[in-house]
Structure 1
Amino acid sequence: MRDLGVGFTYLVRGQRWVARHGRQYGFGLLPGLITLVLYAAALVALALWGADFVAWATPFADDWSSPWPGLFRGFLTAVLFGLGLLLSVLTFTAATLLIGQPFYENLSEKVDRDVSPDGTAPESGLPLARELWISARDSLRILVRAALWGVLLFALGFVPVVGQTVVPVIGVVVTGFFLTEELTAVALQRRRVELRDRLAMLRSRKTLVWGFGTPLGLAFLVPFVAVFLMPGAVAGATLMARDLLGEETRDGDRGRDPEGDGYQDGYQDEVPAP
């Protein structure tokens, strides 16, 4: 259970890192803002026309006596919107990372350089187009897995009691796992770690993953929060990736400024008095 606290610590450290690196944080906000606008438009459309879709899909309820058609369709409409919200949470990170690949790649490299004992960051050596293709391909594979989980949880939501108690908890845990996979992928893809190996690595440290991803998934349920947490989440996931691979890391809270040669927030090496 100790890994739960360690995972959450990485999330906090990532937010602290971007708080000290304002330029990286500002650039990291742009992809999230673009994705938020697109997803918000989709959810608004679902809210406006979801009831019409449910009525079209359930013609057999037209012959039911009142008030059962309205109650039944109202319930399905609420469940449909809930499924849309769940899928938006599951896929928001993948879509944002795909849109902001160059931004987050650069941010992750800066974190690696900042906390690496020798001040270097691993590089994939692949052309940008190839990196984008691999990222899109892997994201699609993860989205398929997330969608299958979403459909399964949607179906289980109809089970009395369990659907209203256990299923939401499972949904948050599953969301946290997929969020962590997508976020750590930014750093792990630069290290040429394949998707299958990444999943095996994360499954071997489930409590660490849940400690990082579950609170992040809960926070992402709050409108706009995901946009502001994404840069720090990428930074924290980079630190976690180093842990998963057993890479040596110096104190990331007292790192060098990757934008220059100085130090952050007044931190500097102690120099003996002459």
Structure 2
Amino acid sequence: MRDLGVGFGHLLKGQRWVARHGRQFGFGLVPGLITLVLYAAALVSLALWGQDFVTWATPFADDWSSPWPGLFRGLLTALLFALGLLLAVVTFTAVTLLVGQPFYESLSETVDRDVSPDGTAPESELPLWRDLWISGRDSLRIVVRAGLWGVLLFALGFLPVVGQTAVPVLGFFVTGFFLTEELTAVALQRRGVQLRERLVLLRSRKLLVWGFGTPLGLAFLVPFVAVFLMPGAVAGATLLARELLGEEIRDGDGRTDPEGAPDAPRDEHAHR
């Protein structure tokens, strides 16, 4: 259970870090604002026309006696919007990171230098277009995985009692995991840790990941909050990446050396 607190602590430390670096925080708001406008338009469209879509997709309910067609379609509309909201929360981070890739790379490197005992940070030797390609490709893979989970949770939502209690809770933990993967990818990709290796690393310390990502996922449900938390989330995810890799972290309280963190493979593209 200690890892839950450690993960949440890194989330708070990331927010405090950007609060002390106002200029980088300001630049970090721009990608989130652009993405927010796009997602808000999509969710509003889903809210306005989601019921029409459900009615079109369920012609077999037309012959049911009242009030069952309305209740059935109302439930499906609510579940459809919940699924859209879940995917929006998960993919918001991926799209925002892609839009703001140059800034967030710079932000993550600055955090690494600030907390590293020797003041250095791993740097990718790949050109920007290559980093963008890898980031976009990996983000698409994560979105597909998250989408499959979303479909599964959508189907489980039809189960009596469980679908209205346990499934939403499970959904938040799933969201938290994928959010953390997307955010830590900024720091881990610079270290040459590939997607498959990142997933193994994150699964090895699920409580740490949930402590960081689940509260963040809940906060992202509040309009505009995601935009203001994104810079600090990237900073906190950099600290979390160091924790996962067992790298020493130096802060105002001194140096801490994470215990029990497994080593992760690195490749020739990352500086040592």
Please confirm whether the aligned pair reaches a TM-score higher than 0.5, indicating the same fold.
yes
Query: Counterpart in 2 of 1:192?
Result: 192
1: CA distance, partners of 2:68 / 2:252: 59
Q: Which residue of 1 aligns with 2:220?
A: 220
Q: Is the 8 A contact 1:115 1:252 kept in 2?
A: no
- CA deviations 1:19-55 (Å, max 9, x no partner) are 0000110011111111110000000000111111111
User: Does the CA contact (< 8 Å) of 1:17 and 1:253 recur in 2?
Assistant: no
TM-score (norm 1): 0.91
Residue of structure 1 in register with 2:267 after alignment: none
Please list every run of 5 or more consecutive structure 1 residues that lacks an aligned counterpart in the other structure.
255-274
Residue identity matched to 2:225: V
Judge which range, 55-64 or 120-129, deviates more.
55-64
Could you list the per-position Cα deviations for residues 121-174 of structure 1 after superposition, in whole angstroms to 9, with x for gaps in the alignment? 110100000000000010011111100000000000000000011101100001
Pairs within 5 Å for 1:1-274: 1-251=1-251
Q: Which moved more, 1:218-227 or 1:129-138?
A: 218-227
Decide whether aligned partners of structure 1 residues 29 and 253 sit closer, same or farther in structure 2, where only a CA change above 3 A counts. Answer: farther
**Which 4+ stretches in 1 moved above 2 angstroms?**
none
State the shift of 1:252 in Å. 5.4
CA distance in 2, matches of 1:34, 1:207: 32
How many angstroms does 1:5 deviate by? Answer: 0.4
RMSD over aligned CA atoms reads 1.3
Distance 1:79 1:178 in 2: 20
Cα deviation for residue 64 of structure 1 reads 1.7
Q: Aligned in 2, Cα 1:179/1:117: closer, same or farther, shift over 3 Å?
A: same
State how many pairs are aligned. 255
Structure 2 residue aligned with 1:266: none
| One-letter amino acid of the structure 2 residue matched with residue 131 of structure 1 | D
SS class of match (1:65): coil
Q: 1:80 to 1:197 in 2, by over 3 A?
A: same
Q: What is the percentage of aligned positions where both structures have the same residue?
A: 85
Cα deviation for residue 249 of structure 1 reads 2.0
Counterpart-to-counterpart distance in 2, 1:29 and 1:126 = 26
Alignment check: 8 A CA contact 1:114 1:252 kept: no
CA offsets 1:213-256 (integer angstroms, 9 cap, x no match):
111111111111111111000000001111111112211579xx
Name which one, 1 or 2, has greater alpha-carbon Rg: 1
CA distance in 2, matches of 1:72, 1:2: 43
Question: Is the 8 Å Cα contact of residues 13 and 253 (structure 1) preserved in structure 2?
Answer: no
Contact 1:181-1:198 at 8 Å conserved across structures: yes
Structure 2: gaps spanning 5 or more residues:
255-272
The residue type equivalent to 2:220 in the other structure is: F
SS of the residue corresponding to residue 250 of structure 1 reads strand
Deviations 1:76-135 (A, max 9, x none): 111111111111111111111111111111110110111111211110100000000000
State the TM-score, normalized to the length of structure 2.
0.91
